[in-house]
Structure 1
Amino acid sequence: MLYFRGINNNTIPMWQVIFMLLVSLILSSCSNKPEDPQALYEKYRNSVVLIKNQYYYSLTFDNGMRLFFTLNEKGAAPEIYETEAEAVEHASIAFGTGFLVGRDGKIATNRHVVNPLNQGMDAAGYIAQKIAGFKQILDGKIEEKIAEQNKLRTYFDANYSSLDENSISELKQAYANLESQITGMKGLLNSINYNPDNTTIQVHVVDIGVAYDNTYVTSPQDFKSCVVVKQSGDEAVDLAIIQLKDKRTPEHITEFISLEGEEGKPETPPAINDDVFMIGYNYGLELAVTKEGIKSQFTAGKITQEPDDNRMLYSIPTLPGSSGSPIIDKWGRLVAVNFAKISDTQSFSFGIPKARLVSLMAGTTGDQPYLEAEKVASGSAPATVPAQPPAQTSPALQASRDEVYRNAIRGFVAAEDSRNFDRLYSFFSDNLMRYWDIPNPTYDDLLNRYQYVWGKTSQSRNIITDIRKITDRTFDLYTEYEYYDLRRERTISKSSRVRYHFDGSGKIDEVYGVE
């Protein structure tokens, strides 16, 4: 029989050595086996919270005019209020997801969940267009009243000698009434004259609160109030940290999703086809509320694209409300924070890689704490903070204006794809200087050009791949353009790069191709 000599020169039978090695291997393999997905959900669900944000917006114009508005239904026109008190009373409500990252009450989520500035940009553009439209109507009414005055004056001058005293008095009174109306309308027009470049949009948070999994939510008081303590200064990194006001994580929450790899071992980066899971509140309270309280949802998918530094693509279906949800791997370790989905599909979504959250929490990427001094830059300035002049425009405010231009380009392209000429024409400036090879085109010039192109093609569509800023008002649109050529009877695809330049009112005044 073979023996193994131990430390104290004691001999151990070889079969015992083999047996111990086998036991060690079995135990090792058991410890390396990932937990069952259901077990992962039960382990971490308590640390994932439903976030409720109540907020409203303000628009401040350089002429002192100020409006307040809220967004309540997707696709509906914004509700506009003259006073801030009305806006507070009718504040918008939006839901998201977050997850606790320690015992001090800090919660990771998306920036857009707690600072929904970009969601208000389209509405701000809509309001600006309505004001511009109202100004045009008012200009037309003033011209009509002036024309009526001129007619009265012409009639009076031509017939003065034959008019009796009563008729003269009536004509003078009619003229005075028109003058009063013109003065009033000119005063109103003057009050809404402003420079769009000096207009700011701000989001004002009334309250941010969280509710816990497996608890009852029957009133706003069931949400525990939080404050925003940090948000990413990088527009591409949609992350923020909020904190419970008492800075204490509830005692019943004992397990936290790990932001670190296994101690002593190199961390394996996420790869294509890896299993991933999301714990979140899809559709907010709509799906969360059950007879036993609110409950999060657990969904599974796979990484479907090689991740980069800013985003990770996975096949997890998401709905509004899932923003800020943790994406974990089969070991229960965080790999990303969910922030967006592919348009017109429920099956593919994007997350911000974990490393970005770690950097934000550590403060190693230049991200700034959410202090009073930062609120102007972030678009969350209190009502007493004045609008900034263009020379002092903050990076975040400029980024907000950039998004207005990008949204205008997206809207213009959508109008082209739907072949809605009047809709796409509304994006053009009254002083359109260039449309491809046509200088200073008129309405008819553009209509004829589009009718000619549309007459030769069908099923045309632009797949936007990028909208790249060139200067403050110049952007290049990159698309994959596809259409069916009616003459050749085949589908043609090609890449295109089109340059858009905007005037001071946010309208397109130049469009042309770029090689």
Structure 2
Amino acid sequence: MNRVVLLLTCTFILLSCNNEFPPPTARELYDKCNRGVVLIAIEYYYEIKFNNNISGYFTQIENGEIKDLVFNEEELDKPNLSFGTGFFISENGKIATNRHVVDIQNDTETAKKKLSYKFNTLRVEINDRISTISSNIREIRQIMNTNYLSINDYQLASSKIQELESERDELGLYERIFTIDPMKSKIICHKSVGIAYNNTHLSKWSDFKECVVVKQSKEEDIDLAVIQLKNKQTPRDCYVFDFDDHNPNIEKKSVLDRFEKNTAKNQKFSIYNPLNINEQVYMIGYNHGIDIATTTDGLKSQITQGFVSQESDNYRVLYSIPTLQGSSGSPVLDKWGNLVAVNFAQVRNSQNFNYGILAKHLKKLVQE
């Protein structure tokens, strides 16, 4: 009798375990996770501190050239804005993203070399102009002293001398520039980091919630960073991503494994396991930053999907998820919503193949 009861019990357990939950739909994944994915905005401009204690300010470095240098900070054009994506990884306001999203990089050495060339050219032009002005003033005075001029002509000559002397004095104000050596200068990037939540409205910079950069990976191949809300409080309605297994069938499988040989199908998810070729993956992010995200109902992130396209190495995984600039830092999830990677780069000349940094490196960075 006991054997019959045991057999029936085991049969019931096996049947129950085989009745697995299906993976969530893309809609269900998005509804669960979208409030944990944020738009990151970086507002920035540059200051160049010269060797003679003069500072210049600019916003653009294009092809190694400083485009809009001014010496009065108030004359500076609007700061630059760049965008990326991030996602909450803790209850105390920490957000994962890419290092390149928050660490603005430019070829400052080339910029200083080209600026040095421009300054040298400017010195020559100013000296030539001052020399020409001085020569013109001497000629006019010589005419005034050696010729009989009418009162009207004399007044015109005197007015011209005053005009030239004023221009010469103005050029003389640039004399301090002659002591500037751009190669001995230091370029500083002044930046502010802020985030905005999905389904909210933006109209000005103050609508972004201020953050600070707290960690950046020091490894060249690990393009990851962590920022944190200044108030260190993740909003209660925001989803927090973790490194756990979100497959609801795992508990059932642990029971089933007592009766069946453990197979790959029954293996628990781990960020340290390699991703399989053709495994379905999803990404939630802000493609093209604020441009696509802005709707009449507020900011809207996007969910896109694809498949693992190549065996991953120790650092990154390639997948066929289409992206645009602004999606850097987006979480990449498997079909159960498990965090598998952080999107960081496109394959050159392609929007349909992208790389993600494996999630195990994010966990390592967080724990350091």
| Fold similarity call, TM over 0.5 | yes
Say if 2:221 is the partner of 1:239.
Answer: no
User: Any idea what the Cα deviations from partners look like across 1:312-332, whole Å, max 9, x if unmatched?
Assistant: 332222222212111112221
Alignment equivalent of 1:99, drawn from 87, 102, 113: 87
The answer on whether the counterparts of 1:107 and 1:243 sit within 8 Å (CA) in structure 2 is yes
Return 5+ residue gaps in structure 1 as ranges. Answer: 364-515
| One-letter code aligned to 1:357 | L
Instruction: Output aligned runs, 1:478-493, within 5 Å.
Output: none
Say if 2:363 is the partner of 1:358.
Answer: yes
Partner of 1:289: 294
CA gap of 1:285–1:79, structure 2 versus 1, over 3 A, is same
Say if 2:283 is the partner of 1:278.
Answer: yes
Structure 1 residue 49 displacement after superposition: 0.9
Alignment equivalent of 1:34, drawn from 23, 48, 72: 23
Structure 1 residue 351 displacement after superposition: 2.1
**Counterpart of 1:12 in 2: which secondary structure?**
helix
- Number of aligned residues: 338
User: Any idea what the Cα deviations from partners look like across 1:204-236, whole Å, max 9, x if unmatched?
Assistant: 12x322221122334434322222222223343
User: Any idea what the Cα deviations from partners look like across 1:378-424, whole Å, max 9, x if unmatched?
Assistant: xxxxxxxxxxxxxxxxxxxxxxxxxxxxxxxxxxxxxxxxxxxxxxx
Structure 1 residue 197 displacement after superposition: 4.2
Say if 2:198 is the partner of 1:213.
Answer: yes
Say if 2:311 is the partner of 1:328.
Answer: no
Alignment equivalent of 2:177, drawn from 182, 186, 191: 191
The answer on whether the counterparts of 1:49 and 1:213 sit within 8 Å (CA) in structure 2 is yes
Instruction: Output aligned runs, 1:91-170, within 5 Å.
Output: 91-116=79-104, 118=105, 120-121=106-107, 125-126=110-111, 129-130=114-115, 132-140=117-125, 142=127, 166=146
Partner of 2:256: none
What is the alpha-carbon root mean square deviation over aligned residues? 4.2
Return 5+ residue gaps in structure 2 as ranges. Answer: 148-153, 155-159, 251-266
- Kindly indicate whether structure 1 or structure 2 has the higher relative contact order, using CA contacts under 8 Å at least 6 residues apart: 2
Partner of 1:256: 240
Whole-Å Cα distance in 2 between the matches of residues 282 and 221 of structure 1? 22
**Counterpart of 2:352 in 1: which secondary structure?**
coil
CA gap of 1:71–1:309, structure 2 versus 1, over 3 A, is farther
Alignment equivalent of 2:211, drawn from 210, 217, 226: 226
**Counterpart of 2:4 in 1: which secondary structure?**
strand
Structure 1 residue 333 displacement after superposition: 1.4
Partner of 1:56: 45
Whole-Å Cα distance in 2 between the matches of residues 65 and 114 of structure 1? 28
Structure 1 residue 38 displacement after superposition: 2.4
Structure 1 residue 60 displacement after superposition: 1.6
Whole-Å Cα distance in 1 between the matches of residues 200 and 165 of structure 2? 66
User: Any idea what the Cα deviations from partners look like across 1:410-454, whole Å, max 9, x if unmatched?
Assistant: xxxxxxxxxxxxxxxxxxxxxxxxxxxxxxxxxxxxxxxxxxxxx
Report percent identity of matched pairs: 37
Whole-Å Cα distance in 2 between the matches of residues 280 and 335 of structure 1? 15
The answer on whether the counterparts of 2:307 and 2:320 sit within 8 Å (CA) in structure 1 is yes
Structure 1 residue 352 displacement after superposition: 2.0
The answer on whether the counterparts of 1:72 and 1:92 sit within 8 Å (CA) in structure 2 is no
| One-letter code aligned to 2:29 | L
| One-letter code aligned to 1:328 | L
Say if 2:8 is the partner of 1:20.
Answer: no
Structure 1 residue 282 displacement after superposition: 0.9
Whole-Å Cα distance in 2 between the matches of residues 40 and 192 of structure 1? 62
The answer on whether the counterparts of 1:146 and 1:182 sit within 8 Å (CA) in structure 2 is no
